[in-house]
Amino acid sequence: MAVITLIVASTLDPASIGPARALRALGAWESGPCVEDLPTWRRGNTRLWQFDSKIIFEDMADERWEHATGERVREVVFLSRHTAVSLRPAFTVHPIGVPHLGPNETPQAGGRPGKTSPPCPRIAAFLRMMMKIADARGFLPEFEVTFEATHHGPHVETPAMFIEIGSTEEYWRREDCAAAVAELCWEGLGLDGGGGPAAGGEQSGVDDASAAGIGDWTMAAAETPVLVGLGGGHYAPRHVDIGKQEGVWVGHLISGYSLPMELDEEAARQRGGGGGGGGGGGGGKNKGGAVGGGDIDLDCIKGRWREVIKEAWSSTRRGFPGGKIVFNLDSKSFKSWQRQAILKFLAAEGMTVGKGKVEDFLP
């Protein structure tokens, strides 16, 4: 069975179809079979699948491809537009999923409630390469090149990532933006003939400059640290600062808004903690209380935050088999009681926490 990289694009999105067409223009692609009555192209062990729908709702595209073609998908790269209130032009990369949603909630932007797709191991390496491409092509400093936190659909079982152009229609349609993303995929996936899996050759190494393109994870990287970010805003600046350093691998990035935590003040008072200053959550000095002094009672904190952390951990493990998952907390983004609770929970689960230094995440 052939093992392939699947690139997914949509004609409904100019920031998706533009890079897809620019990618096809970079070299010879063969027309592939129609899959679900949709056109496909192939080059080496890479496939391009062109939809006429919103790709954030195309759940299980990987399994659907395998069922139709008999080819196993090793990773999925989605090309898409990015929107932002700031309207600032940007190139972004990010993992996908909606882990903060409960089982009875309806995802407004695709995905499966409470679930994440395994993160594509190439995410950090693609961010670094995109920074270099943006600089060389003169996009900086006008454009921001950044991670986004894990969010939206679709859901797939294969390691996946989104590459996006933002943040207005002017930029979604710009040919130079499309060309930059096409270059990222062309070189990053080894489509330029590097000889790795994307080009039809053998997998080789895990270094950013490997013949398999960049950021290709293999079992040779067993026990290599993989960053999972907790906290901060949507663009995860604290995690970007580490992820942009050569040699760092990045999995899921869970923003503060995806870690719903609510302090049950009445329960805290009943357990002797006095509420730890209420929902605002200063640590206080009551070391025997439900909230203060590091001896926080996790039963006093409601919300799906535990499930979100577990999902990010297990999903990243699937994306980086054999890797050592290390959490990176944006500590300043949390209230004291939130930070204490998260650290206590991670310790109880036997999960590793870094100290916020690049060295914590290097092999």
146 with 229: CB under 8 angstroms?
Answer: no
Name residue 19's amino acid: P
Q: pLDDT tens digits for 241-297?
A: 999 999 999 999 999 999 999 998 877 777 765 444 333 333 333 333 334 445 789
Query: What is residue 55's predicted lDDT score, i.e. its pLDDT?
Result: 98
Average pLDDT taken over every residue of the chain: 90
> What is the CATH T-level fold of the domain 3-194, as seen in this structure?
Aminopeptidase (3.40.630)
Q: Going by DSSP bridges, is the β-strand pair 160-167/90-94 parallel, antiparallel, or unpaired?
A: antiparallel
Question: Under 8 Å CB-to-CB from 85, ≥6 apart: which residues?
Answer: none
- How does strand 72-83 pair with strand 144-147? unpaired
99-126 pLDDT per residue, tens: 999 999 999 999 999 999 999 999 999 9
The CATH class given to the 217-270+294-362 domain equals alpha beta
33: cis peptide before it, omega within 30°?
no
Scanning the chain, the segments in alpha helix (DSSP H) are 14-25, 61-69, 123-136, 169-172, 175-188, 237-243, 265-270, 305-319, 336-348
pLDDT digits (tens, 9 = 90+) for 177-219: 999 999 999 999 999 875 444 434 333 333 343 347 999 998 6
320 phi, psi to nearest 5 deg:
-130, 70
Give the dihedral sign, CA 122/186/11/80.
positive
pLDDT tens digits, 5-52: 999 999 999 999 999 999 999 999 999 999 999 999 999 999 999 999
At 194, is the secondary structure helix, strand, or coil? coil
- The 3-state DSSP class for residue 286 equals coil
Tell me what pLDDT residue 194 has: 58
Task: Give residue limits of the domains in the chain.
Answer: 3-194, 217-270+294-362
Which SS3 state, helix, strand or coil, does residue 72 take? strand
Query: What does the pLDDT read at residue 339?
Result: 96
